[in-house]
Structure 1
Amino acid sequence: MVLARLQQPLRVAITSIGRSGSSQICLHEALAQLSVRAPPTLTFVRHASHAQQGAVNKAKDGPGKRLGAKKTGEQYVIPGNIIFRQRGTHWFPGDNCAMGRDHTIYATECGYVKYYKDPAKHPKRQYIGVVFERNQVLPLPPNSMRRRRLGMVATKMEMPEVIETEPQIEVLADGQAVQVQKSTDKERKGEEGRTLRLRPGYMYREANWEIGRAAERAKVKVREFVPGDRWKAWRKSNARKAKTAEKKGLGRSVKAKK
């Protein structure tokens, strides 16, 4: 392209040189005619575009996270069962439920799922709870009895009927009459007349001297304590250890001779 542009100025310069007589003037004119003006330069600025960044920033359509309810109302669950998966606290944990780090609500006790609202606790929040019987309703009324825990069922205790016995009168040797009240409950052997008191450390127990008289109360014959035999077991153990060490020493000496 540059050579094609220079062809016409060169022809004109050559013809002018041939016509004119002065070589110096013709040379200046030829150089002047040869001066080619450069076209205006165009500057381009390249801006970033979405297509130039690669496939990382393209639109994605990943798999769903399977959010929502996993257990319906009155469905039986065990501890650890997931009841509801969510992003944010659309539902809050109620009775016998807890919330994980990703706002997942799961059961902490065995029972039946209940979806409910508690205006007394919060007017707008929705709760998920677990009850132990299908016919129970949440929320519980204020100051109501606490439900069972640890797999135990609350039952009414039946108190045994108290049978009143007529007092018996016993006549002593000196002719004095004494009223004797016999208890209907059978006492274990050696526990006659025990008195349990609250001792230090919040323990109900007898004093040490009373515990030592248990055999006497049970009328059990015990060998009398001999002061000289206090260290008898200790002396026996020392004699046994000395005899064992002597046998080991004899065995080593026989091996050394061989």
Structure 2
Amino acid sequence: MLLPRIFAPVRASPHTSSIISIPTTHVLAVLRTANGASTPVSGSASTPFLSFTRHASHQAQGRANGAKDGPGKRLGAKKSGGEYVIPGNIIFRQRGTAWFPGENCKFGRDHCVFATESGYVRYYRDPFRHPKRQYIGVALKKEDTLPYPRNAARRRRLNMVTAEYEPQPEPPTIEEQVVAGDLQIAEGMAKDAKPVQNLVMGKGYAYREANWDIGRAAERANVQVKEFVPGDRWAAWRKSQARREANIEKKKLRNAGKKTKPAKARKRG
């Protein structure tokens, strides 16, 4: 802060034996000279001078931490390694492709990695797919490690693995049972045997019975159905015609009571 100009003599201190009168504009330098300050004073002896620097007393206006665009985007890992996730859970949010989706994971529209299957999160590298990329995957079992072996069986959408199919032995036919002497079992199977259906391939490669065969299911099952008796269509037509004629007659009678204006004769030019 700048000090005002003082041209009058300045009294140094009541403790001093003499009064020093020095015409000067620097009050602070005069006071130091009068009190015998140890600080050296620059300038001549008649007019001492003290130079000093003015520092800012308040911070300049401006943003403290630079321009900000609202709250943070909350980027980073949302699920740690080994944590259980379900389909749709976001595992990692990022800008760019620092991490790539691996087993049972996919990319989102904003490059986030999310799970497509239920399992446990794994962060890993796969040198067979790409030597420098980092992958995030979901292991279906807690003890599994990623990446899976290249030729290993994969669990697909239904969370199933391929297994060897063991064909079951075919049951013996009726003729074989009769020859073997097991007539009672043969008779029981003959009673429970269903009739062979005549399946025909229709639209969409679907095998089904013909419509006429389906319509006779009640007949084959000895179910009595009430016979359909069609009505007399000729009599119904005659009644409808009589109703139309009667409605026309009524309309004519209603219009007969109304006065109608005579038509104007056209002028011949």
TM-score by length of 2: 0.48
Q: Is the helix fraction higher in 1 or 2? A: 1
TM-score by length of 1: 0.50
